[in-house]
Structure 1
Amino acid sequence: MAPPQREVRAAHTDATVTVYQAYAPEIGVPAAEAGRFPAAWKRDRMTWIKPSFLWMMYRCGWGTKQGQETVLAVEISREGFEWALRHACLSSYAPGVHPDRTTWQRELKRAPTRVQWDPERDLYLRPLPYRSLQLGLAGEAARRYADEWTVSLTDVTSLAHEIHALVRDGDTDSAARLLPRESPYPGQEELLARLRG
């Protein structure tokens, strides 16, 4: 059975959820070494987090795109992740969700987080017929993410390169076995009630 059209799938524990980001080495490497974002990480600009490993691979080209050579797995508290969803607005106008475009624009200006749904990807980074969550954090949300919600930061660039090499060699079974185990996030019916668009 195909997954729902819009669903949060992530690696998660009882206390944390893993999201992915990719940075230039001068930010990503010190962050992974310290287990937290350095002072140089800009807390006043929007940052996008992705619970889908393969969507992150699509975005950063398996850690080969300029400025995205260091791929981080960021374990954050579920409490923080759920705060972000509860305070989010869809990044684009959805007639079935918002009464009108003006109301949506007003909500978007006020919201510290925004939700975008993009096609999930397969091992060849081709789009799949269902979507994956991207969560944009700005202002208060970005600061909380960096300084309160983050539990650990792990450099997974070598894993990205290993999986990519297996895919290039046609060994998709071995590549799939190395992927992080992502499953539907609990309680999302309530969390995403206004965010499915």
Structure 2
Amino acid sequence: MAAGAVRPQTLRVTALREIRADHDAHSIALYQAYAPTIAEPAVAAGRFVPPFSRGRMTWIKPSFRWLMHRSNWARKPGQERVLEVRITRDGWERALAAATLTTAGPAAVAKAAVHVQWDPERSLSGAALNHYSIQVGIGRGVIDELVDEWTVSITDLTPRVRKIADLVRSGRTAQATRLLPPERRYPLDPSLARRLGMS
């Protein structure tokens, strides 16, 4: 390459199924939407407390944009508050190691402690993209670990969500994009990735 020439940038191709998340060496950020009656006590305590129910499956998602699609930018009834639930990477990977894909047979899914489902990732406008985002359903037998051992912090992102939504609605997509949480590929052991149906 000649002196002073600009080296071409290599663009990473997004795999059909991969985990993209805001993560550091010790924790990973996951997103959930709740009614204020559940969200406010959880934020105050820094962990889930009643009336949060440990008796039903709870779904955690590392894709912020997917949850925005699911909760209609915190406008869907019962999902008016968006929380960042940061948990340990050890807990996250233990959950994945115990997971069964929802495409497995009904008997396998029924007895699974953790469910994994892949859904089309979403753009800021809510359009389905050509790659998938992971959802992880934590069953009753594992929720105690999620709440008591894995949770590092709970942060209310609702004001940020509303600001991004206003920018998207007004066509200021570039400004909205700059406010999104940073999400990059989360590395997994290849054997676990294969079990989860990742490409």
TM-score by length of 1: 0.91
Q: Which has the larger radius of gyration?
A: 2
**How far has the Cα of 1:195 moved from its partner?**
1.4
**How far has the Cα of 1:188 moved from its partner?**
4.9
1:115 aligns with 2:119: no
Q: Which segment is superposed worse, 12-21 or 1-10?
A: 1-10
Q: Unaligned regions of 5+ residues in structure 2, if any?
A: 1-11
1:126 aligns with 2:137: no
Tell me the residue number matched to 1:138. 139
1:80 aligns with 2:91: yes
Task: Work out whether residues 37 and 51 of structure 2, in 8 Å CA contact, stay in contact via their aligned partners in 1.
Answer: no
Tell me the residue number matched to 1:4. 15
Inter-partner Cα distance in structure 2 for 1:122 and 1:134: 17
Tell me the residue number matched to 2:3. none
**How far has the Cα of 1:61 moved from its partner?**
0.5
Inter-partner Cα distance in structure 2 for 1:147 and 1:5: 33
Give the number of aligned pairs. Answer: 187
TM-score by length of 2: 0.90
Question: RMSD of the TM alignment (CA)?
Answer: 1.3
Letter in 1 for 2:68: M
Letter in 1 for 2:196: L
Tell me the residue number matched to 2:164. 163
**How far has the Cα of 1:147 moved from its partner?**
1.6
Tell me the residue number matched to 2:8. none
1:33 aligns with 2:34: no
Letter in 2 for 1:185: Y
Secondary structure of 2:195's match? Answer: coil
Inter-partner Cα distance in structure 1 for 2:189 and 2:48: 28
**How far has the Cα of 1:150 moved from its partner?**
0.6
Inter-partner Cα distance in structure 2 for 1:51 and 1:145: 15
1:46 aligns with 2:57: yes
Q: Unaligned regions of 5+ residues in structure 1, if any?
A: 94-103
Inter-partner Cα distance in structure 1 for 2:114 and 2:43: 24
Inter-partner Cα distance in structure 1 for 2:83 and 2:27: 15
Secondary structure of 1:192's match? Answer: helix
Determine what percentage of the aligned residue pairs are the same residue. Answer: 46
Tell me the residue number matched to 1:173. 174
